[in-house]
């Protein structure tokens, strides 16, 4: 199994003109990896003929054929289990679970098979499970982010990019890694555009990215909330508060070096995520800071997370149930930064 290379810096941002949406960046990563390695194949609900409900697999069926781009029955446990079995025999499946709300139907496979096999049997299961979540635009059955469910499972690497560039590089790294990777996307940033290098590249798993440097407070976030935190940092700058923003990108392994380095500078930690706050991944980040960077703290750690209730339908509820930029700004101001 490959080791994590913590020494590597993330792939540099390009000044190139080419911009892609996040779903296009994901599609490009899949296409390039399928081109490079014939063991890589894709399966999931509506991924083939339709090209994925979020267009992440558009055109792959035409390019690679029905053996390597497979529409499945609506059977989450069956699909994930089949991916694990295929990976166990040396293929490299990329399995899509359309909504994270559907992931609980496959949890037995994650908890009892995918996690068990690399550790107990010492056999690689090089599968990537792609899924997406996010509040808004649909019912509570299409709104969940269950990242803490998967970070709690031993052996699984968990990745949650916020930009098209990171999405492509992290997906390529995930596919090439022999270890199990849960790749969490966000539905509401699929259309967001960003510069993406055309050639294949790896973005290291387990390495956070300092998206904005600052000296007064450290915002720690990932996925869509990293973008909200970025907006909050800009607003705070207007009132003289210089916020640093760490985009974790990987939840497991967690890049504590980058977090500690930042806290040594700022002394204030504000963790922001969209999933329910109680027992959310923010609790893990806060605990790790308390264990490993306590001496740097000047103020208690702040955790901002989703309201501990199912996400309701009307858009009116949204600012109340997930921590958007204004909520982050207010929380930082209360810190007395």
Contact footprint for another protein (CB under 8 A)? 41, 67-68, 70, 72-73, 75-91, 93, 108-109, 112-113, 116-117, 119-123, 154-155, 157, 252-254, 256
Side by side, the strands of the sheet bearing 69-71 are 69-71, 40-44, 92-97, 128-133, 181-186, 157-159, 250-252
64/209 with CB nearer another protein: 64
Q: Residues 272-294, buried b or exposed e (16+ Cβ, 10 A)?
A: bbbbbbeebbbbbbbeebeeebe
State the catalytic residue, choosing from 31, 45, 142, 230: 142
> Degrees (nearest 5) of the Cα angle 155, 159, 163?
170
Q: How far is the CB of 154 from another protein (least distance, A)?
A: 7
119/264 with CB nearer another protein: 119
Give the Cα separation of 157 and 142 in Å (integer).
24
220/233 with CB nearer another protein: 220
* Contacts of 10 by beta carbon, 8 Å cutoff, 6+ apart: 166, 169, 203, 204, 207, 209, 249
Give the Cα separation of 75 and 81 in Å (integer).
10
Instruction: Give Rg (Cα) of the chain.
Output: 19
CB 83 within 8 A of CB 43: yes
For the chain, report the end-to-end CA distance as a whole number of angstroms.
44
In sequence order, the β-bridge partners of residue 41 are 93
| Residues 13, 17, 20, 25, CA torsion sign | negative
State the catalytic residue, choosing from 24, 45, 76, 274: 76
Q: How far is the CB of 193 from another protein (least distance, A)?
A: 33
Q: How far is the CB of 121 from another protein (least distance, A)?
A: 4
Based on the residue annotation, tell me whether 141 is a catalytic residue of this protein.
no
81/267 with CB nearer another protein: 81
Based on the residue annotation, tell me whether 273 is a catalytic residue of this protein.
no
Q: How far is the CB of 203 from another protein (least distance, A)?
A: 18
Q: How far is the CB of 179 from another protein (least distance, A)?
A: 8
**Dihedral-angle region of residue 124 (phi above 0 means left; psi in -120 to 50 means alpha; beta otherwise):** beta
20/251 with CB nearer another protein: 251
208/243 with CB nearer another protein: 208
In a 13 Å sphere around the CA of 178, the CA atoms on its Cβ side amount to 13
Q: How far is the CB of 134 from another protein (least distance, A)?
A: 26
Catalytic residues, by residue number, are: 76, 142
């Amino acid at each position: 199994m490959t080791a994590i290379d913590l020494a590597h810096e993330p792939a540099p941002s390009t000044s190139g003109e080419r911009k892609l949406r996040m779903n296009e960046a994901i599609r490009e990563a899949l296409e390039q990896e399928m081109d490079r390695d014939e063991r890589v194949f894709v399966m999931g609900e509506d991924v083939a003929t339709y090209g994925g409900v979020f267009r992440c697999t558009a055109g792959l069926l035409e390019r690679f054929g029905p053996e390597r781009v497979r529409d499945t029955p609506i059977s989450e446990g069956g699909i994930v289990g089949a991916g694990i079995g295929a990976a166990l025999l040396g293929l490299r499946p990329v399995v899509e679970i359309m909504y994270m709300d559907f992931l609980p139907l496959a949890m037995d496979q994650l908890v009892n098979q995918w996690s068990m096999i690399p550790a107990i049997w010492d056999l690689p299961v090089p599968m990537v499970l792609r899924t997406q979540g996010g509040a808004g635009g649909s019912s509570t059955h299409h709104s969940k982010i269950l990242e803490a469910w998967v970070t709690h499972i031993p052996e699984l690497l968990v990745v949650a990019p916020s930009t098209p560039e990171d999405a492509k590089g992290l997906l390529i790294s995930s596919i090439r890694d022999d270890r199990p990777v849960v790749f969490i996307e966000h539905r509401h940033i699929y259309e967001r555009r960003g510069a993406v290098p055309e050639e294949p590249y790896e973005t290291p798993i387990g390495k956070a990215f300092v998206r904005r440097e600052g000296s007064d407070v450290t915002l720690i976030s990932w996925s869509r909330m990293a973008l909200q935190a970025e907006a909050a940092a800009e607003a705070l700058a207007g009132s003289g508060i210089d916020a640093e923003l760490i985009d974790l990108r990987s939840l497991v392994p967690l890049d504590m070096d980058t977090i500690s380095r930042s806290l040594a500078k700022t002394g204030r930690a504000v963790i922001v995520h969209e999933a329910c706050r109680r027992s959310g991944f923010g609790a893990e980040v806060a605990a790790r800071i308390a264990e490993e960077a306590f001496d740097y703290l000047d103020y208690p750690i702040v955790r901002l997370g989703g309201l501990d209730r199912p996400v309701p339908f009307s858009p009116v509820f949204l600012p109340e149930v997930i921590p958007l930029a204004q909520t982050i700004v207010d929380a930082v101001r209360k810190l007395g930064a």
